[in-house]
């Protein structure tokens, strides 16, 4: 048995493990996925063009804010909010701690030498997650509105492929947001007896709904991450004339 000292790293050699499976596949795939999304999002956010077409608006630029005299892309004014929500998310923290910092890289695998000090100093911003959650809820409303507008073609109801893409984006973002651990604690984590609490029946029902999404929080995190990037790419390609939006109705 290896011994540990409170606040210090495990004495075992880095990456030592008795696991015989390909444990490294998970963190490697996570690193590649997060890097790809970060690179694409940064590039798309800095473009400042081809973010809308007809009734479609890229989620990277929603809500569209263009102050007079602002010299940079309007996406920079809003992406910090959903970006901060994901960056401080409990699941994503586990993911990039493992993938990029090897703290630890996987279960039952020795971590890189480090001294754990809690989420203080450089990582104190992680404690802002509960506040980013309130902003994330606002973006669920905004993206839902964008999805509704995506069915309005010059004042007439219509359905295009982009309408479905943006609607699914709002659904996936909502599923990820509603499964947030902070939200689950907010609606029921501080209640010991629902039947004794004010509006206990309603709060218990809401807690059960949040728990339903929370059980698949990892899956919703990745689905929504991929789809929000795909939504921007779709609107961008249609706006550039590279692909044509197919009208279903």
132 in a structural domain: yes
Q: State how far the alpha carbon of 167 is from the alpha carbons of 182, 195, 240, in Å.
A: 25, 37, 21
Q: Is residue 68 part of a domain?
A: yes
Residue 248 lies in a domain: no
Asked if residue 117 belongs to a domain, the reply is yes
| pLDDT exceeds cutoff 90 at 80 | yes
44: DSSP letter: H
13: in domain:
no
Residue 189, pLDDT > 80, answer no
Helix axes 217-239, 200-214, angle to 10 degrees: 70
Owning domain of residue 209: 25-239
* Residue 193 CB-density burial (10 A; 0-12 exposed, 13-18 middle, 19+ buried): exposed
- Residue of 54, 81, 82, 55 lying closest to 227 (CA atoms): 82
Least confident among 4-8, 151-155, 159-163: 4-8
Residues 6+ apart with CB under 8 A from 117: 7
DSSP string, 51-89: -EETTEE-GGG-S----TT--S-GGGGTTHHHHHHHHT-
In the block, residue with structure tokens 């007439």: 156
Q: What is the pLDDT of residue 141?
A: 98
**Assigned domain for 95 exists:** yes
37 — pLDDT class (breaks 50, 70, 90): very high
Contact of 31 with 123, CB cutoff 8 Å? no
Of 53, 3, 30, 12, the closest CA to residue 233 belongs to 53
Residue 208 is assigned to a structural domain of this protein: yes
Query: How many domains, in total, are found in the chain?
Result: 1
Q: Which of 10-14, 25-29, 44-48, 197-201 has the weakest average pLDDT?
A: 10-14
The answer to whether residue 11 is domain-embedded is: no
Q: Return d(Cα 187, Cα 183) in angstroms, integer.
A: 6
User: With bands split at pLDDT 50, 70 and 90, how would you rate the model's confidence at 12?
Assistant: confident
pLDDT at 2 over 70: no
> Going by C-beta distance under 8 Å and a sequence separation of 6 or more, which residues neighbour residue 149?
55, 57
Q: pTM score, two decimals?
A: 0.88
Q: How far apart are CA 138 and CA 142, in angstroms?
A: 6
């Amino acid at each position: 048995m290896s011994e540990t000292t409170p606040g210090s790293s495990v004495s075992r050699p880095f990456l030592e493990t008795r696991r015989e499976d390909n444990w490294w596949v998970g963190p490697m795939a996570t690193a590649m996925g997060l890097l790809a999304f970060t690179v694409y999002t940064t590039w798309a956010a800095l473009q400042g063009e081809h973010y809308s077409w007809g009734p479609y608006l890229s989620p990277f630029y929603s809500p569209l804010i263009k102050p007079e005299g602002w010299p940079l892309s309007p996406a920079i004014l809003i992406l910090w909010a959903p970006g901060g929500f994901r960056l401080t998310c409990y699941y994503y923290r586990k993911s990039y701690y493992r993938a990029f910092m090897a703290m630890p890289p996987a279960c039952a695998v020795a971590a890189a030498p480090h001294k754990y000090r809690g989420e203080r100093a450089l990582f104190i911003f992680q404690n802002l997650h509960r506040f980013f959650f309130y902003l994330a809820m606002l973006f669920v409303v905004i993206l839902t509105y964008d999805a509704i507008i995506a069915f309005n073609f010059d004042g007439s109801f219509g359905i295009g492929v982009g309408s479905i893409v943006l609607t699914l984006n709002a659904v996936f973002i909502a599923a990820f947001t509603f499964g947030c651990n902070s939200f689950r604690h907010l609606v029921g984590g501080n209640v010991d007896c629902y039947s004794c609490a004010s509006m206990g029946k309603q709060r218990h029902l809401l807690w059960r709904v949040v728990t339903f999404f929370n059980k698949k929080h990892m899956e919703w995190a990745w689905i929504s991450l991929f789809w929000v990037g795909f939504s921007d790419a779709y609107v961008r390609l249609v706006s550039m004339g590279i692909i044509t939006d197919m009208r279903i109705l």
